[in-house]
Structure 1
Amino acid sequence: MANTSENQVIVFAVYELVEQMQVLLTMLSRLIRLLLRRRRVNNIVGSSYSMRGKIPAQVRNLTYIIGTSDNICRKNLRMNMDTFSRLCYLLQNLGGLGPTRHVSVTEQVALFLHVLSHHEKNVIIQTNYRRSGWTISKYFSRVLNAVLKLHNIMLVQPVPVDEDCEHQRWNYFQGCLGALDGTYVHVRVPLTEKPRYRNRKGNVSVNVLAVCDVNLNFVYLLTGWEGSAADSRILRDAVTRPNGLSVPIGHYYLVDNGYTNGPGFLAPYRGTRYHLIDFGVGTNTPQDFREYFNLKHSKARNAIERAFGILKSRWGILRSASYYPIKIQNRIIMACCLLHNFIRTTNDFDPEENVVAQEIIRKNPDRSYAVIQSVEPSDEWTAWRDTLAMNMYNNWLRERGM
């Protein structure tokens, strides 16, 4: 009986050993198949995947964009190499943007500008910069916050038109600070909020109020209002805000017929030809002082329209709705306007390349002077506009020998 029990134990031990060997063989065969599969994939791709192997490709891509030529840098990031270096310096030293263990400041700024310039989706930037989607989203938000911190530096201080101005668009508007208008920027919002954001053209957008100076640089921005909001209502909100639009008494901005003609805001005559396409030679020349005033007003106020055109032409993300939350979309619009100013004052390729920025940190504007605190019509202001229009028309007639 003892021999029988011993034999049974030995048999069970052999069976258990065989089962373990089968498990080991199965695991070994799976490992061999996995290695063969990886070898086949590597043969197709041409190189094995590794975190260390990604670094040279990232360096080559970044060097090609920002270190090859101004033309390539401008095509990809909308600025030349010198302007890009200055922007990185400001963001790092004044905007609080710093490098991390794996991503430098230059790469953070480059991928941020790439998204704004071409409205590239996250998956496309992943391929171009060899980064994960989470990494791209993280550093996009960081650079966005750093750019907005520089608003006191990038927003310009308007300079009023003086008596010595020789610019034909502005020489009649002494004391003028620039032009003001609103523009629609398409956004993506939840279905329940679309009626509020639908503008008069039927598109879902925000109504952005912007003010620019004579050099097409933005002076003031107010974004966040729904597309259904009226321009005059947004202007009243901008003027009454604690840190809103500041218009010193005695100065003014040019506005269109969508706004009230009152102190600080000079509007054209209503019911009279205004747009440049309406004027020409012969019988299409201005027939009275109102028409001539509207013609000169339209030529000068066209500055804000040109500023909007340059802005949307430069930043592709403003030409179509993005998938960011509405709060982030509004911050992106502000960042695009700030970068517009920075490029125009430093980039050698912008139309206003002769305007060189003073690299001085501008503090908050001094509000010790008296400013306009409401947007209301005024008989006195209307009479002043009539006097200005009559003087402009009489000077024009004298120049023509009439």
Structure 2
Amino acid sequence: MQGRKLLPERQHCTRSISSRVCISSLRGDLYDQSKLHTNIQTRYEWIQYILTGNEKKCRRQFRMSSHVFGQLCNTLRQYGYNGIRRVCLEESLAMTLVVLGHAEGNKMVQDRFQHSGETVHRHVATVVTLLANVMAADIIKLADRKYYLVDSEYPMRKGFLTPFNYLHSSFRSVIERTFGVWKSKWKILRNMSAFCIRTQGRIIVATMVIRNFVRAHEINNDVERSRSTGGTSGHSERGHYNGTCNLNVGRT
């Protein structure tokens, strides 16, 4: 009945039950928390398993071959980054690639790499910032006698080329395909609304840097393999990237 009050005994019983439920829930959370990071395969063992196993698995997880992964690690060391505290560079880079390539949330990365959420965030943010703010100046730039292909709305100026014939206009479709493949490969680009504008910009540039780095080094590796075997190697990360251009920030 509406307005009916509980008797003192029933009120006390209800409070006791509620208290026991809260305490039980709290104990359950604490118990579950202690079991979060008990994966029998340690984080570094998992990385080595991916890098030394089937090459397709490495490309699926890290979006690059194991050889290029090692080259990227060496390049980051040349820029002065060797990981933070007890987390090595390889692990720091692997976490970043999983986040960027698969758009995995922080909790999923915690479970995979057996780290706290704060550690995951710190390492991913550090690597993304290094890629976007430092490496980008060397990776994303126009080569000599190269131009940005822009829309006709842009004025003719140094470094910009507006389409003025059919051949130039046809390049636009190549660029669109390149950006389509880029967004498909780095799934975080499809869902960045949760990040602030500055972070979104860094993520975009960081994935451009990685994409151009992978493509350039896969081409070099193919040339070296071809020379060593006396033929043309058909194994390349490029795959359906053949005929596409490097990504540049100046795209409209």
Q: TM-score category by the smaller chain?
A: 0.5 to 0.7
Residue in 2 that maps onto 1:169: none
Matches of 2:199 and 2:179, distance apart in 1: 20
Q: Deviations over 1:15-67 (max 9, x none)?
A: xxxxxxxxxxxxxxxxxxxxxx99xx89xxxxx9597x557432332222222
Residue in 2 that maps onto 1:349: 237
Q: Is the 8 A contact 2:36 2:111 kept in 1?
A: no
Residue in 2 that maps onto 1:112: 96
Q: Secondary structure at the match of 2:86?
A: coil
Q: Secondary structure at the match of 2:209?
A: helix
Residue in 2 that maps onto 1:318: 189
Residue in 1 that maps onto 2:68: 83
Residue in 1 that maps onto 2:86: 102
Q: Residues 86, 354 of structure 1: CA spacing in aligned structure 2 closer, same or farther, 3 A cutoff?
A: farther
Q: Residues 60, 300 of structure 1: CA spacing in aligned structure 2 closer, same or farther, 3 A cutoff?
A: same
Q: Residues 350, 268 of structure 1: CA spacing in aligned structure 2 closer, same or farther, 3 A cutoff?
A: closer
| 2:106 maps to 1:122 | yes
Q: Is the 8 A contact 1:318 1:333 kept in 2?
A: yes
Among 22, 42, 47, the residue aligned to 1:62 = 47
Q: Residues 151, 267 of structure 1: CA spacing in aligned structure 2 closer, same or farther, 3 A cutoff?
A: closer
Shift of 1:300: 2.6
Q: Residues 126, 257 of structure 1: CA spacing in aligned structure 2 closer, same or farther, 3 A cutoff?
A: same
Q: Is the 8 A contact 2:92 2:127 kept in 1?
A: yes
Q: Secondary structure at the match of 1:323?
A: coil
Q: Residues 138, 268 of structure 1: CA spacing in aligned structure 2 closer, same or farther, 3 A cutoff?
A: closer
> Which blocks of at least 5 consecutive residues in structure 2 are unaligned?
1-26, 219-235, 245-252
Q: How does 1:224-243 map to 2 (within 5 A)?
A: none
| 2:123 maps to 1:139 | yes
Q: Is the 8 A contact 2:68 2:217 kept in 1?
A: yes
User: TM-score w.r.t. structure 2 length?
Assistant: 0.67
Residue in 2 that maps onto 1:204: none
Among 135, 143, 160, the residue aligned to 1:158 = 143
Structure in which a larger fraction of residues adopt strand = 1
Q: Residues 332, 50 of structure 1: CA spacing in aligned structure 2 closer, same or farther, 3 A cutoff?
A: closer
Q: Is the 8 A contact 1:77 1:113 kept in 2?
A: yes
Q: Residues 322, 80 of structure 1: CA spacing in aligned structure 2 closer, same or farther, 3 A cutoff?
A: farther
Q: Secondary structure at the match of 1:120?
A: coil
Structure in which a larger fraction of residues adopt helix = 2
Residue in 2 that maps onto 1:340: 211
Matches of 1:100 and 1:266, distance apart in 2: 43
Residue in 1 that maps onto 2:226: none
Q: Deviations over 1:90-120 (max 9, x none)?
A: 11221x2223443111010000011000111
Q: Residues 158, 69 of structure 1: CA spacing in aligned structure 2 closer, same or farther, 3 A cutoff?
A: same
Matches of 1:320 and 1:123, distance apart in 2: 17
Letter in 2 for 1:267: T
| 2:204 maps to 1:309 | no
Residue in 2 that maps onto 1:257: 152
Q: Secondary structure at the match of 1:259?
A: coil
Shift of 1:334: 0.8
Shift of 1:159: 4.2
Q: Say how many residue pairs are matched.
A: 196
Shift of 1:309: 1.7
Residue in 1 that maps onto 2:247: none
> Which blocks of at least 5 consecutive residues in structure 1 are unaligned?
1-36, 43-47, 161-176, 181-254, 270-292, 356-402
RMSD over aligned Cα atoms: 3.1
Q: Is the 8 A contact 2:43 2:91 kept in 1?
A: no
Q: How does 1:232-311 map to 2 (within 5 A)?
A: 255-260=150-155, 262-264=156-158, 265-268=160-163, 293=165, 295-311=166-182
Shift of 1:73: 0.9
Q: Residues 350, 50 of structure 1: CA spacing in aligned structure 2 closer, same or farther, 3 A cutoff?
A: closer
Q: Secondary structure at the match of 1:79?
A: coil
Letter in 1 for 2:130: A
Matches of 2:50 and 2:101, distance apart in 1: 13
Letter in 2 for 1:338: V
